[in-house]
Amino acid sequence: MNYRVIKENNLFLLTDEQGDITANHSYGLGLYKNDTRFLSKFNVRINTEKPILLHSDGSENYMSAILSTNPHQEKDGELILWRESIEIERKRFIYDDVLYETVTAKNYFPKPVTFDLNIEADVDFNDMFIVRGFQTGDVGKRTGQTADQNSLTFQYDGADDIKRATRIQWDAPLIPKEVKEDGEITFTLTLQHQELQSITFMVIPLENRETRTDLLPVNEALEELKSSYKSWSAGLATVETDFEPLQRLVDRGLSDLRVLLTDMGYGSFPVAGLPWFGVPFGRDSLIAALQMIAFQPEVAKGTLFTMASQQGTKVDPWRDEQPGKIMHEIRYGELANTNQIPFTPYYGTIDATPLFLVLLTEYVKWTGDLETFRQLEENVKRALEWIDQYGDRDGDLFVEYHQESSKGIANQGWKDSGDSIVHRNGDYAETPIALSEVQGYVYQAKQGIASIYDKLGNKEAASKLKAEAEKLQEAFENEFWMADQEFYAIALDGRKKQVGTITSNPGHVLYSEMLAGNRAEKVSSMLTGEKMFSGFGIRTMGEGEAGYNPMSYHDGSIWPHDNSMILLGMSKLGFSADAKKVITGLIQASQYFEYDRLPELFCGYGAEIGKAVKYPVACSPQAWAAGTPLVFVQSLLGLFPDSLKKEIQLSPMLLDEMNTLTVTNIKIGEGTLSVSVSRQGEEIQTAILENTTGFEIVKHMKVTQ
């Protein structure tokens, strides 16, 4: 990872490894809020020269520390600074939409030294889409800078009539030598041997003439931030295992998910990932919340209400919007605000609407919170109407997509790249396209909502949804099953022809329990066979297929979240050997990535190459990659509660490398469950440490392997 990123709520900072915001980096470095770059340059120099990097720590997502030192400096034979005599430490974090950065210089030279510490700052106020090179457009203009001995402010009038500003202020016992309106700030430091001096900079993004006089001192702000992390950790289910690689993955995943949480006024929910997708994302946020449900179900609640707040209300082809549809992505920058891009929000996703219903049903099953369902019942009705009226365009029972917006997305499933839906002869499928996994989500959604209606006594609605789900199941088996491959097609194209390429998509359908007879077992076996399983995970596309490319984004790569959705189904159906194989492979892959973190995706090369191969550009941290290790734990426990039936399905297993797994404080219903699983010789023993749920624990394995 050749960048460093920190985030808190709606503000994130992206720098190079040295902590600088430079113009020549492959990423658009900067400080971002509301899809606007509020800092496009921020460099620390010593006597105007770039320091030498010693150490850069990005293991913590909420703060980072960087150590550097001075190069040797002399002029006309006269010593200015001896090499490596000054240590420069940069520590930064974000709290309450303010970036705090403390720069500390320490003198290790045996004599007193005097030198300049230079700060180079600038702001372009560019929209995120312009920074990334995706879009140009009519934008506003810079309106000047103001400077004094305590602060420097850059100002901008947007084309969207929002007046933006960035104020940089500092807290130091010394007055700067010079503050220039062009962004150069110079402090002259004189340090005795072993003496140190700190300067804290506070960078404040401002909109519509905000003043922000409520800033906390740096130490108080850091304590408040740490306190919020402690509160977050206290509410989580906890995991302890003797298998250290899994322990590290779970700890890292929980840490990453905390930094990706944002609250838009409806409760905390996970944004998709950093650096480019720190915004509400329908599919990504919903799946990440689903992955987290065994650890913190409140995040699912916040995600549901956030998505419901943006549910479609009208037919708007520019935004691919229809009534009842759940959004794909929302943006807040200048181009979106002036309608130059359709992300206000944009609705071009075929799966977010059924996934909204799936998450809601799973949330109710875990928590028994029927009041939340009642609050969202009108959203549920509108989502179901969208599925039947707009999702199923031609009345064939299948939900399909077709791009309407001129600046929208062509492929609108989770594999949304232009080449991701390809026939076995190499031809790209033409829309409207009905994806296999989406039909599974719809089936699961209708069955799940039906079970809630049953509980609430609405037998008519429940019966109707069950009948619709059964018809969909029958149609799916007839149209998607490929007898010659003993597998399901990834999709039906616009002519209702099977897109027969072997892919991971049908694996998601395992979770829905929609597949008939022994076909679920055949799907699981295919996914863990040589064609699909690399040794490090399940590929997105089978090796040898016409579109297969291990370096591609969606046609042969490995996505941890894709594997996690498949794992939920394998575990639920009792395909324990296959589930263990997938979990083990992904854990082995994680050792090849920085900070024991599963990335958004990695290349699909086989394990015989000797290591997992990173994909050239992958978001890190990414919410649904961070949530994948949490699914490992749920899958190993075989944990699937149902508050509507007042029972908990529990079918524990251990990986071959594990001897113990203890999970405590799992919130189910109005109580908690704590479980310990251990290996005793050849047997796996399960101990219930706590069960205050009042629910019966049942061991239910549909298939054993």
Q: What is the pLDDT of residues 477-517, one digit of tens each?
A: 999 999 999 999 999 999 999 999 999 999 999 999 999 88
In whole angstroms, how far apart are CA 699 and each of 650, 678, 682? 5, 17, 19
Tokens encoding 664: 């405590």
DSSP symbol at 388: I
Separation of alpha carbons 608 and 315, rounded Å: 51
Q: What are phi and psi of 108, to 5 degrees?
A: -105, 0
Across the beta sheet with 683-691, the strand order is: 238-241, 660-668, 671-680, 683-691
* CATH code of the domain occupying 4-226: 2.70.98.40
Sheet strands side by side (includes 11-15): 4-8, 11-15, 30-33, 36-39
Residue type, 593: F
Q: Phi/psi of residue 498, each to 5°? A: -65, 135
Q: What confidence score (pLDDT) does residue 230 get?
A: 92
Q: The tokens of 409 are what?
A: 């997305």
Q: Distance (Å, rounded) from C-alpha 465 to C-alpha 447?
A: 7
Task: Decide yes or no: CATH 1.50.10.10 for domain 235-649.
Answer: yes
Neighbours of 48 (CB within 10 A): 11
| pLDDT < 70 positions in the chain | 1, 700-705
Q: What is the dihedral of CA 643, 700, 577, 673, to 10 degrees?
A: 40
Integer-rounded Cα Rg, in Å, for the chain is 27
Closest CA to 517 of 479, 484, 473, 485: 473
The full DSSP string for 295-347 is T-HHHHHHHHHHHHHT---S-BGGGTB-TTPPPSB---SHHHHTTSSS-SSB-
Identify the pLDDT of residue 703.
45
Domain boundaries, the chain: 4-226, 235-649
Confidence (pTM): 0.95
Structure confidence by residue, pLDDT tens digits, 267-311: 999 999 888 888 899 999 999 999 999 999 999 999 999 999 999
Which string of DSSP letters, residue by residue, matches 503-534? BSGGGGHHHHT---TTHHHHHHHHHTSTTTB-
Rounded Cα gap, residues 411 and 349, in angstroms: 8
d(C-alpha 359, C-alpha 572), whole Å: 16
**What are 42-97's pLDDT values in tens digits?**
999 999 999 999 999 877 778 999 999 999 999 988 999 999 999 999 999 999 99
pLDDT value of residue 705: 44
287: closest CA among 625, 557, 584? 625
Q: What is the DSSP string of 59-123?
A: S-SSEEEEEEEPPPEEETTEEEE-TT-EEEEEEEEEETTEEEEEEEEEE-SSS-EEEEEEEEEE-
In the three-class reduction of DSSP (H, G, I as helix; E, B as strand; rest coil), residue 1 is classed as coil
Q: Crossing angle of helices 436-456/377-386, nearest 10°? A: 140
Residue 618's pLDDT is: 75
Spacing of C-alpha 517 from chain mean position:
35
Which residue type, as a one-letter code, is found at position 313? T
